[in-house]
Structure 1
Amino acid sequence: MDNAPSGDVIVVGSGVVGLTTAIVLAERGRRVRVWARESGELTTSAVAGALWWPYRIRPKALAGEWALQSLSVYEELAARPRETGVRLVEGVQGETRLDAPEPWAARVPGLRAATPEEYAGTGLWARLPLIDMPVHLGWLRERFLRAGGTIETRTVTDLAEVEAPVVVNCTGLGARSLVPDPAVRPVRGQLVVVENPGVHTWLVSTDSDAGTTTYVFPHPDRLVLGGTTDDDDWSLTPDPAAAEAIVERCVALRPEIAGARVLGHRVGLRPVRDTVRLEHEVLPDGRVLVHHYGHGGAGVTVAWGCAREAAGLALGEEPAAVRP
């Protein structure tokens, strides 16, 4: 039974988590508005590498469940890649053994040990969603609008001033000052975009001694090369030395990338928190405020599963799992 207060829902934030949550609510019959200070194309989500794989997100058990729910959605969306931006692409998650991943990994279809021909070290081969985020964010926006939702450019400085019976806070790193919640902090990621010389498989490789993670994500017209994990770094300016190091590491793994023309640089700030904040509170005037942020480097990976649970909280339903 739907026990939510009557009237509108306002979702604050237009990244992948905010838009997906807004879609779930709108398609369940709510009148939903998204308030955001910037369009989805200018959010952290827009610069994400966006390979489906839980990364820098806790609690792990819940994140795994949310990720698997989202995987099912992305597999369906991959039937229309030009429209949705979602493709299923083969590749290798390096430095990971079949007996080492979290329990959710056992439920990923086709996951197996990589062969020596596929990867020189120990790794897992998988066919996973790889998402073109500018295209996908545009598709999410259109799906939300078709469901009857509206998007407004608003700068929110106080959640208590958002006048709606139900407010869902999907502000990501912005929650640090808006709530305020000092537990959410930035982990800076830098990417280099180059022309694709013919690479068709993705690769993620971790060097624990050097403290680096290197990845190559192929799209039809470009390669996304990464990356960095700079804790508590707020800079959105590309670092030329970091960009050079990224390209060098990627070329060492995939020599055919050498000499590929650089198309651009991207920097995003992952909203990392010790645990995702997904909970609701009743304000003194009876309105419902749902907090839904802190997804780290896995916002795309868990978006649909997490959005369904957030929507349930907004509609007065019992949570699907006990929160730690």
Structure 2
Amino acid sequence: MTTSSDVLVVGAGVSGLSVGILLLKQGYSVEVWAKDIPPHTTSDVAAALWYPYLCQPRNKAITWSKNTHDYLKEHALPDPRSGCIVRSFLELFEEPVGEPWWAEAVDSYRHVCPEELPPGYVDGYQTDVVLMDSEVYMRWLVDVFSELGGVLTVRELYDFGEAFAVNPLVINCTGLGSRELCSDEKVYPVRGQVVRAALNSFSDIVVSETASGLSLIAPRIDDVVLGGTTQAHNWNTEEDPADTADILRKVAALSPDFENVTVLDVKVGLRPARDEVRLEAEKVDGGVLIHNYGHGGAGYTLSWGCAQDVVALVQANLHR
């Protein structure tokens, strides 16, 4: 049995669907296989703001981040179905800092004035970034993928040999699943827990990472995401009430607007971390396997930039 598609993508998170869409736009026929599809992917849990977090190597991540930033502005923001908005973004620090390493990826940024800083902080950056409502955005990706002619199939893969039995060009976008599928022990989970709360008048994104951990305020269109946790090698996908209490305590310290919040939901996801993103073509028995995984806490931020590089690898390895 063979598929009628030119390319088979494994994984239907933000990385897999972004790859599928760009390939379709280049005229390739594409099928995606995935154990879980939206709204049941790790990507659906993410706070989903443009912010290159927990990703390496930086010299490549800066290009991927910029290309994603540009793609979102050109293709996602103009489409009201995408769930994307632009928000002012403030990153806070307890010590003086220099230029952000991601400065080249944004149109502009500035160091904030001392009077703009909450107590305990001495420096910070301000820029404008794209914020995505993850479930809305993922649904939009599925819709665009389908409208372009892509085929989405629910199928759990236990070995890439199953994929090569039907297609000689396979793209691996399985995230944390690559730990087993590729026997890659460099891939490990970084547990993230977030609180979804009722929207209030607070409209800026605020991020702070201190010795006590990560704090995040991300006001979306209809709610606000509060975070978070960065717990390496933690496989727990259930809510930890202690983490919820800690998140609420820390965001209240960032702004009095969050001293009393209405909690709507608590979500947990496992970020697919790695010492660096694996994006390369590997010749294997049965065909070519293109890897695109290990994006850490920056799956959305790197998505379109990495997808563009995957398309280039497909063009180099698939001769029609």
TM-score by structure 1 length? 0.91
Residues paired across the two proteins, number? 309
Deviations 1:235-287 (A, max 9, x none): 100000110110010011111112211100010000000011111112233x1
Aligned pairs (5 A) from 1:36-55: 36-55=34-53
Q: Alignment partner for residue 173 of structure 1, among 151, 176, 184?
A: 176
Partner of 1:307: 307
Partner of 2:80: 82
Aligned pairs (5 A) from 1:35-114: 35-77=33-75, 79-80=77-78, 82-95=80-93, 99-102=98-101, 104-114=102-112
Q: 5+ residue gaps in structure 2?
A: none
Partner of 2:124: 123
- 1:118 offset after TM fit, Å? 2.8
RMSD over aligned Cα atoms: 1.7
Equivalent AA in structure 2 for residue 278 of structure 1 = L
Deviations 1:190-228 (A, max 9, x none): 0011111211111001213x2x01010001321100000
Aligned pairs (5 A) from 1:1-324: 8-77=6-75, 79-80=77-78, 82-95=80-93, 99-102=98-101, 104-120=102-118, 121=121, 122-162=123-163, 163-208=166-211, 210=212, 212-285=213-286, 287-316=287-316
Helix, strand or coil: the match of 1:41? coil
Mapped to 1, the partners of 2:89 and 2:51 lie a distance apart of 12
Is the 1:13–1:36 Cα contact (8 Å) retained in structure 2?
yes
Is the 2:83–2:221 Cα contact (8 Å) retained in structure 1?
no
Helix, strand or coil: the match of 2:50? coil
Helix, strand or coil: the match of 1:246? helix
- 1:315 offset after TM fit, Å? 2.2
Helix, strand or coil: the match of 2:189? strand
Equivalent AA in structure 2 for residue 260 of structure 1 = V
Percentage of matched positions with identical amino acids: 39
Mapped to 1, the partners of 2:29 and 2:314 lie a distance apart of 13
Mapped to 1, the partners of 2:100 and 2:38 lie a distance apart of 32
Mapped to 2, the partners of 1:97 and 1:310 lie a distance apart of 38
TM-score by structure 2 length? 0.92
